[in-house]
Amino acid sequence: MKKIKSILCLLILISGSANAALINLTVNGTVDGALNWGGLSAGNTITADLTLDTASYTGNGYETFYFTGDNTLAITAGSFSFDQSMDSALNASIAFNDGVMVDFNFGALFGINGAPEEFDSAGLYVLADRSVTIGNGNNKVTTDYLLAAHWEAATLTAVPVPAAVWLFGSGLLGLAGVARRKAA
């Protein structure tokens, strides 16, 4: 009986502040304009697929997730794909204020950390620009690669799991009762 009481007390303590751990979130963006950039044009969609560890997320105030450990990032923009390892400053993050996305920070430099192209996301905006000049003298040819886009505001809510904990706890109590009855 002491074990059952201990388990019940532990479940009550855990259930008070528990949140779901890993969640998947897709953030969509809209291309405002593009030139020679991944086959995109105005009106096309870019996406960021995120996995976030929300165990300590409350949904209140300003909260930031850095893309390290279990937090992952995969951006698809036209024919280009990026992930958190391509961030040139290695501090990619997403921030929410009262559950609403307010900042998406990611910056890739062409050729650095395997990045296929320039890509800079700050706040809710994306800007990528790079010029390449080949040749010399009167035979110079410059090609510009440009992308301007914006992220759609995403929301993230804290997902409490006390119901799951209570269900698990009641199952354990039931098993303990059956085991006790068989022993008698």
Q: What's the pTM?
A: 0.75
Give 183 or 49, the one with higher predicted confidence.
49
- CA distances (Å), origin 32, targets 28, 41, 62, 116, 127: 13, 8, 28, 21, 10
How confident is the model over 113-125, as a mean pLDDT?
92
The answer on 123 and 52 residing in a single domain is yes
pLDDT in the model for residue 22: 85
* Confidence band, pLDDT 50/70/90 cuts, at residue 151: very high
- Residue range 92-113, pLDDT digits in tens: 999 999 999 999 999 999 999 9
The answer on 135 and 118 residing in a single domain is yes
The answer on 137 and 58 residing in a single domain is yes
- CA distances (Å), origin 173, targets 5, 51, 112, 163, 180: 9, 34, 56, 15, 10
Rounded Cα–Cα distance for residues 141 and 103 (Å): 37
How confident is the model over 24-33, as a mean pLDDT?
95
Cα 70-74-75 angle, rounded to 5 deg? 150
| Collapsed DSSP state (helix, strand, coil) of residue 184 | coil
The answer on 136 and 104 residing in a single domain is yes
The answer on 119 and 29 residing in a single domain is yes
The answer on 25 and 80 residing in a single domain is yes
pLDDT in the model for residue 119: 93
Residues of the domain holding 46: 21-159
pLDDT in the model for residue 77: 95
State how many domains the chain has. Answer: 2
How confident is the model over 133-157, as a mean pLDDT?
88
- Per the document, the length of the chain is 184
The answer on 35 and 103 residing in a single domain is yes
- Residue range 6-18, pLDDT digits in tens: 655 555 555 544 5
